[in-house]
A = this chain, B = another copy of it.
Amino acid sequence: MSSAMEMEYPHPYVPTDLRLPGYVPNFLTQTEILVPYIASSFVVASLVWFFSVSSSPPEITIIGPRRPILLGRISKISKTDRILMCWWVFTGLTHIILEGYFVFSPEFYKKKVPCYLAEVWKEYSKGDSRYAGRDTAIVTVEGVTSVLEGPASLVAMYAIAAGKPYSHTLQLTICIGQLYGCIIYFVASFLDGDNFAKNPFYYWVYYVFANSIWVVIPTMIVIRSWRKISKAFLGENTKRKAH
C-alpha cells in the first residue's frame, strides 16, 4: 500500500534481492556526476602544481647592518615530487570528502533532494552494490581510508614541500594502507561471490578501473620511497665506514 507520497522505487543494483527501503533514484546523470569530480580534482591539482614551482632556488636574505645576510635557500622541489604533491592532494581530498561522506551517511540512497555526494555513491553502487547495502568490510575499509589516510595524505603533501625527513616514511605508510584497503576490497568481494555490479560496463569501469588507480600509483610510490629509504641508510652506513 504505497501512496504517491511514499512511493517505493525499485533500485538498479545487483543482487536484485538487496533490500533498500526508501531508495530514491539518481537526480544527476553519469556525466553530471563525473565531470565535476574530474574537473575540480584537475583544478586543485593544477593549483598545487602551480604554487609548488620554484624553477631556481630563491635565496632568503635579511638586511644586515652592513650587507645583506644570506639565511639559506629554499630547496628546489623536483618535478616528480611536484607530481606526487598533486597526487596527494587529489587522493587526500577524495578520501576525506567523497569517502568521508559515505562513511558517515548510511542513508545516502534515501536522499529526496539532490545532494552531489549522495549522487556519487548512488551512481558508484551500480558498480559495487556493497556501498548501498552498507557491507561491513566496505564501511570499515572506507572508515580507515577517510579518517586516517585522508588527512595523512595532506600531511604527506606538506612533508614533500617542506622536505621533512619523514616524507618517504609517511608516503610509504599511507600507500601500504591504501594497498591493504584495496586487497580487502577485492578479496572480500571475491569471497562473497563477486556479484555486485549492475552489468559488465559498471564492473570494469567503476569496480575494476577506478580502483586500480589506487593499486598502481601507491605501488609505484612504495617502490620509490622504499628505494629512497634504503639509499639513505646506505649513505649513513658508508659515512660510518669512513670514520
CB < 8 Å neighbour of A144 from B143, B166, B183, B192: B183
Q: Of the listed stretches A24-32, A78-86, A172-180, A206-214, name the one at the interface; the rest are far from the partner chain.
A: A172-180
CB < 8 Å neighbour of A184 from B165, B184, B230: B184
- B residues near A180, Cβ cutoff 8 Å: 144, 176-177, 180-181
Is A47 part of the contact surface with B, judged by Cβ < 8 Å? Answer: no
Among residues of B, the one whose C-beta sits closest to the C-beta of A226 is B169
Smallest distance from the beta carbon of A186 to chain B beta carbons, Å?
9
Interface size of A in residues (CB-CB distance below 8 Å): 36
Is A2 part of the contact surface with B, judged by Cβ < 8 Å? Answer: no
On whether the beta carbons of B188 and A137 are closer than 8 Å, the reply is yes
On whether the beta carbons of B232 and A233 are closer than 8 Å, the reply is yes
Is A5 part of the contact surface with B, judged by Cβ < 8 Å? Answer: no
What are some 15 contacts across the A-B interface (CB < 8 A)?
A137-B137, A137-B140, A137-B184, A139-B191, A140-B188, A141-B184, A144-B187, A165-B230, A165-B234, A166-B229, A172-B172, A180-B181, A231-B236, A232-B232, A232-B236
Q: Which residues of A contact B (CB under 8 A)?
A: 136-137, 139-141, 143-144, 165-169, 172-173, 176-177, 180-181, 183-184, 187-188, 191-192, 222, 226, 229-237, 239
